[in-house]
Amino acid sequence: MIQNTPSKSANRTGLITALDVGTTKVACFIARPLVNGAAEVIGVGHQVSKGIKNGNIVDMAAVEDSIRTTVEAAEHMAGENVRDVVLCVSGSVPESKLISFDVAISGHEISEVDLKRALDPTWLYSQQVDDRQIIHTLPVAYSIDGNPGVKDPRGMYGEKLGVNMHVITASAGALRNITACGNRCHLDVESQVVGPYAAGLSCLVEDEKELGVICIDMGGGTTDLSVFFDGEIVYTDSVPLGGNHVTNDIARGLSTPVAYAERMKTLYGSAVPSPSDDQEVIKVPLVGEEDDGENQISRSMLVGIIRPRIEEIFELVREKLEPTGFEKAGARRVVLTGGASQLTGVRELAAEMMDKQVRLGRPNYVKGLAESVNGPAFSAPAGLIQVVMKERKAMSQTSSRTMDAPNNKFGRIGKWIRENI
């Protein structure tokens, strides 16, 4: 049960609580970090989302109820009470901006302090507009005295440290609304992560991120996209169309209830035609009519409704990528994830329209997931755990470097302890 006070056991064990509030579902993963740097999910809760339309909150009370029920289910399974959550931000119209700047080093060795000073985003916050809020400031690459390609400048010498930084912003109003919903459930939002970043970290392998890949997260109300290159996310955006739009097209086109339209899409739907479609007949109940009110259509008619909407989604994705030049950075690889990507034929249609190799992505790096929650629909909440683990690893390395510094008294003591005990 969600309580007003944080669980001592949860804090002591360093549990990670990931909360993904989407258009079609709310999912909560509670994970315990392992010694080898991985994480194991010990609690899962998910249910149909209420109060959200096309990624935007339209009923705060309904969203609160969905969050509360989902988190309680995860807590019950984990046997822990949680307070701090990492929140997935979806439907908040993420915007990407790459900025470059230089920091004077004056010839001395680049230290942890220099790097922190270079990456300090305080000056960025003063420049953000009222309706946008900075979510991530991610260093993409470094250069020293104009020489690019530096992965980690610490310990190197130079006069000038150059930084290429990826700044991701989101709608301030949407962020305040979803945070308020969490707070009303007695949850503290520890950090916020944009959905495309979380999904990419979850389902992409390291070689894909290094060589260049486009990750397309097809949700119910929105389709998010991210581009990874040289191991870092370099672009993110969103398209206001998703799987629910396909369902609504079927419901309107066939005058059938939305619930049955969703069932038809799942059982019989496809984005590409097959030779037997004309011979396969599907019974369709009509809206507002009793059991005798039924129509019959061929499967080819259903495919004819689904395909144009999926084509539109990929066309909009392509239009987002082309002006930025990141379509080339994505090399020849596209990874589809998200619940709507599981529709039959979506992968083949994406390969045709994007002219790239396409695969279906699912959570890779989190242990303990049951088969029912280990599919593409749960890439984002699994990715939230990855984000936290990545940040904790970076903080641990920073702390280790500081303690190992030869001019630091505590560093000398720490080094002696590690070498002699």
Is residue 399 a contact partner of residue 408, using CB atoms and an 8 Å limit? no
The answer as to whether 160 is a domain residue is yes
HSE, side-chain direction, 13 A CA sphere, residue 177: 21
Location of structure tokens 């998703």: 242
* Confidence category of residue 126, pLDDT binned at 50, 70, 90: low
The answer as to whether 57 is a domain residue is no
* Confidence category of residue 6, pLDDT binned at 50, 70, 90: very low
How far is residue 193 from each of residues 170, 348, 398, measured CA to CA in Å? 10, 30, 22
Per-residue pLDDT tens over the stretch 376-421? 999 999 999 999 998 888 777 665 555 455 455 444 544 444 455 4
Kindly tell me if the per-residue pLDDT of 297 is higher than 90: yes
Tokens of 88: 């997935």
Kindly tell me if the per-residue pLDDT of 353 is higher than 70: yes
Domain total in the chain? 2
Lowest mean pLDDT of 126-135, 159-168, 344-353, name the range. Answer: 126-135
Per cent of the chain over pLDDT 90 is: 63
- 3-state secondary structure labels for all residues of 284-336: EECCCCCCCCEEEEEHHHHHHHHHHHHHHHHHHHHHHHHHHCHHHHCCCEEEE
d(CA 266, CA 344): 8
The answer as to whether 417 is a domain residue is no
d(CA 320, CA 314): 10
Is residue 69 a contact partner of residue 2, using CB atoms and an 8 Å limit? no
For residue 278, what are the domain limits? 243-306
The answer as to whether 152 is a domain residue is yes
Tokens of 23: 């258009």
pLDDT value of residue 206: 93
**One-letter identity of residue 361:** G
Quote the DSSP letter at residue 240.
S
| Cβ neighbours of residue 173 closer than 8 Å, sequence gap 6 or more | 131
Helix residue ranges per DSSP H, 185-324:
195-203, 206-211, 243-254, 258-268, 299-321
- Domain final residue, candidates 253, 280, 306: 306
Region 285-301: mean pLDDT is 85
d(CA 221, CA 135): 21
- Domain final residue, candidates 170, 204, 220: 170
Please tell me which of 24-33, 145-154, 402-411 the model is most confident about, judged by mean pLDDT.
Answer: 24-33
The answer as to whether 324 is a domain residue is no
The C-alpha R_g of the chain, in whole angstroms, comes to: 24
pLDDT value of residue 399: 56
Per-residue pLDDT tens over the stretch 229-250? 989 999 999 999 999 999 999 9
Per-residue pLDDT tens over the stretch 160-191? 999 999 999 998 888 999 999 999 999 999 99
* Confidence category of residue 127, pLDDT binned at 50, 70, 90: low
Per-residue pLDDT tens over the stretch 49-99? 999 988 889 999 999 999 999 999 999 999 999 999 999 987 667 888 888
* Bridge partner list, 138: 166
Sign of CA dihedral 97, 100, 104, 107: positive
Tokens of 136: 């991530």
Q: How far apart are the first and last CA of the chain?
A: 43
* Confidence category of residue 336, pLDDT binned at 50, 70, 90: very high
| Cβ neighbours of residue 379 closer than 8 Å, sequence gap 6 or more | 198, 199, 202, 203, 217, 337, 338, 361, 362, 363
The answer as to whether 388 is a domain residue is no
Kindly tell me if the per-residue pLDDT of 47 is higher than 70: yes
For residue 108, what is the domain's CATH number? 3.30.1490.110
For residue 278, what is the domain's CATH number? 3.30.420.40
* Confidence category of residue 289, pLDDT binned at 50, 70, 90: confident
Region 277-296: mean pLDDT is 85
pLDDT value of residue 79: 94
Mean pLDDT of the chain: 87
The answer as to whether 267 is a domain residue is yes
Tally the residues of the chain: 421
Kindly tell me if the per-residue pLDDT of 292 is higher than 90: no
Kindly tell me if the per-residue pLDDT of 291 is higher than 70: no
pLDDT value of residue 398: 61
Kindly tell me if the per-residue pLDDT of 146 is higher than 80: yes
pLDDT value of residue 3: 42
d(CA 194, CA 196): 6
The answer as to whether 165 is a domain residue is yes
Q: Which helix (H) or strand (E) holds 381?
A: helix 379-404
Is residue 351 a contact partner of residue 358, using CB atoms and an 8 Å limit? yes
Q: Which among 400, 396, 402 is positioned nearest to 111, based on CA atoms?
A: 402
d(CA 371, CA 41): 13
pLDDT value of residue 36: 79
Location of structure tokens 């909009």: 316
- Domain final residue, candidates 119, 148, 170: 170
* Confidence category of residue 290, pLDDT binned at 50, 70, 90: low
Q: Which helix (H) or strand (E) holds 358?
A: strand 357-360
pLDDT value of residue 397: 65
